[in-house]
Amino acid sequence: MIFIFALVIPLLIMFVIYIAPVILILFTIIHVINSKSIDITCKILIIIIIILCILIVFTTLIHIEADKPSELYTKMKRINDSQSIIGLSKEQVEELLGKPVRTRKSSNVYLYNAGKIVKEVNWRNCFSLWTKTYYYVFSVKFDETDEVESTLMEESLELYVP
């Protein structure tokens, strides 16, 4: 019995809060369109005002979350920004960051998974409307003496290792 109330009551509240106003607005628009006493310009004006009110309410209920970087992204970003590994040997880099996910032998570059950033748009901080995840790669380029010459962190569409 408690389970039924725990399920039915929230559904009724959601109906009253979200679905009932939409039905009311649709019936209002249909009534305005079918009304014989209102001329066409007034009908268009009323419908535009209703749509603008809906858009204003909708935009006030949407919440765009701040970017959520992963711990790995934060660590790799800090290393890239500080340039703290410049001059280290390949062995020292592997000791610090582990084995690379991929290497480019021709250009002497190590590629590491650099984490991700999640961007999310919510409806009233309750329901997620959409989520976008951006994956990053951390590149370490070595010179002829096998010391770190430069680092680069960029979004990656091809390299993702969970």
| Most confident region among 53-57, 65-69, 79-83 by mean pLDDT | 79-83
Q: Please report which residue ranges of the chain form alpha helices under DSSP H.
A: 2-14, 20-34, 40-61, 71-82, 90-97
| Higher pLDDT pick, 58 / 137 | 137
User: What is the distance between the terminal CA atoms of the chain, rounded to a whole angstrom?
Assistant: 43
Q: Give, in degrees to the nearest 5, the angle at Cα 94 between 92 and 98.
A: 140
What average pLDDT does the chain have? 83
Asked if residues 73 and 134 have their Cβ atoms less than 8 Å apart, the reply is no
Stretch (H or E) spanning 155: strand 148-155
Please report the pLDDT score of residue 158 as a whole number: 64
Asked if residues 68 and 117 have their Cβ atoms less than 8 Å apart, the reply is yes
**pLDDT, tens only, 13-42:** 777 777 777 788 888 888 878 887 878 888
Query: Position 125: which residue type?
Result: N
CA distance 47 to 51: 6
Q: Give, in degrees to the nearest 5, the angle at Cα 23 between 123 and 19.
A: 35
**pLDDT, tens only, 94-104:** 999 988 888 87
CA distance 63 to 129: 10
| Higher pLDDT pick, 41 / 124 | 41
Residue 3 has pLDDT above 70, yes or no: no
